[in-house]
Amino acid sequence: MATKNVEARSRSSGSAERNRGLKKMFRHQLGSKIYKRPSTERVKSESDGRRRPEPEVRRKSSGPREASTPTATPRRVITPKTPTISDEEREEFENVAQPRPARAHMRTRELRWKDVSREDQTDDSDSPHSEKSDTEAPSKQEQRSKQGRENETKTEKKLRKAKETIAALRAKLEKRDKKIAFLRTLLMEQDAELKKLDPGRSSRIPTDYDYDDLLPDSHKKLAEGVLETFKKNQLLEKSLSTEENEVLTKYFATPDLPPTKEVVTLIDKAISHALDVLEEPNNDELRAFLKERHNAKLAILDVMLARHDLMPDIWDEKARKMATKTAKRSSSRDRIRARKRDSGRLEKKETQKV
């Protein structure tokens, strides 16, 4: 028994070390993929290739300053116009006592709908309302089209601003993730050098293995939900070919096999394709979790290695065994419950008879 316990502990420790190595390689794989965009200032300076002219500096003159005499502009004289009175107005003003009946001044205009001689007339209706509606209709249509254009321009401006802000935020996130990955690699290298110099020294620098334990519980729960949907729809195994799935089954079946670059790239490919195919969730927390692809992939891999029941059945034989065991247990439990129910019913019937 003691030898069996020792062998089980050694196997568990070996699998834990192998999982840590796989996580480390997966993290470096994600960090190496991020592309650093060149800064706009550098591109502008290289494209111009010319220096800007320096501003001219005023030199102080040794001699005294000459006073400038202002030139006087000639003033313009405005003479008011005197009102002129016509002879008729004078007569009207003088002959006030004479009776002068009011005269109506009306403008005469030919109506289009009554003019038969017009060649361009096409409307046969005799009412003036039809002509009025024809003249007013295009003006209303023009106003509606102008309002629609203004609304379209406003929405286009909003969409353009939103796209610009999203692109800027994505660029910032990519730069931050790449900086984090680069700093982690530097810390790992320095820690390895210090261990070589002083092998008995315990490393106080937080490594990648320590980072796995710092994942929040909320991220782990979200990753578990995502893996459940992956397994339900078989998204991970469908995103790879049969040969690629065989490589992963061989890796997970043999515990002594170390992680390789091919295994890491296949896992990354499967997770990224499954996330792309996954439908957009209604939950805001899950949507924010999936937007940060780097952290989401790390959390999904961590949960998948910790829980074999969420791993695809093709990749891991342990998951198949666990599934068969759970099915057998559930069937045995159902049988025991049915027997208990039958025995309870028989006892009740016997007591009623007595």
**Mean pLDDT across 153-181:** 85
**Mean pLDDT across 97-123:** 62
Rounded CA gap, 68 and 70, in Å? 6
Per-residue pLDDT at 240 exceeds 60:
yes
Which range has the worst mean pLDDT, 50-54, 252-256, 299-303, 313-317?
Answer: 50-54
Nearest to 257 by CA among 5, 24, 21, 23: 21
Most confident stretch, 36-50, 81-95, 213-227, 296-310: 296-310
**Mean pLDDT across 91-112:** 66
Secondary structure of the chain: what % helix, strand, coil (to 5)?
Answer: 70, 0, 30
Cβ–Cβ < 8 Å for 28, 185? yes
Please give the share of the chain, as a percent, with pLDDT higher than 70: 54
Read off the tokens for 274: 């499954």
Per residue in 260-294, pLDDT (tens digit) is 888 888 888 888 888 888 887 778 888 888 888 88
Per residue in 67-94, pLDDT (tens digit) is 555 566 667 767 766 666 666 666 555 5
Predicted pLDDT of residue 221: 85
Whole-model pTM? 0.39
Rounded CA gap, 237 and 233, in Å? 10
Predicted pLDDT of residue 260: 85
Element (H, E) at 331: helix 317-353
Rg, the chain, Cα only: 45
| Residue 314 DSSP class | T
Rounded CA gap, 291 and 169, in Å? 12
* Angle between helix 317-353 and helix 242-253 axes, rounded to 10 deg: 70
**Mean pLDDT across 178-196:** 81
Predicted pLDDT of residue 52: 52
Nearest to 311 by CA among 217, 224, 214: 224
Cβ–Cβ < 8 Å for 2, 8? no
**Mean pLDDT across 142-157:** 72
In sequence order, which residues have a C-beta less than 8 Å from that of residue 20 and are 6 or more positions away?
A: 208, 209, 212
Which range has the worst mean pLDDT, 29-38, 231-240, 258-267, 285-294?
Answer: 29-38
Rounded CA gap, 134 and 148, in Å? 22
Cβ–Cβ < 8 Å for 292, 170? no
Query: Between vectors from CA 178 to CA 176 and to CA 179, what angle results, nearest 5°?
Result: 65
Cβ–Cβ < 8 Å for 93, 84? no
Higher pLDDT among residues 15 and 300, named by residue: 300
Rounded CA gap, 351 and 326, in Å? 38
Per-residue pLDDT at 3 exceeds 80:
no
Which range has the worst mean pLDDT, 123-132, 227-236, 238-247?
Answer: 123-132
Rounded CA gap, 302 and 224, in Å? 10
Rounded CA gap, 342 and 334, in Å? 12
Higher pLDDT among residues 281 and 123, named by residue: 281
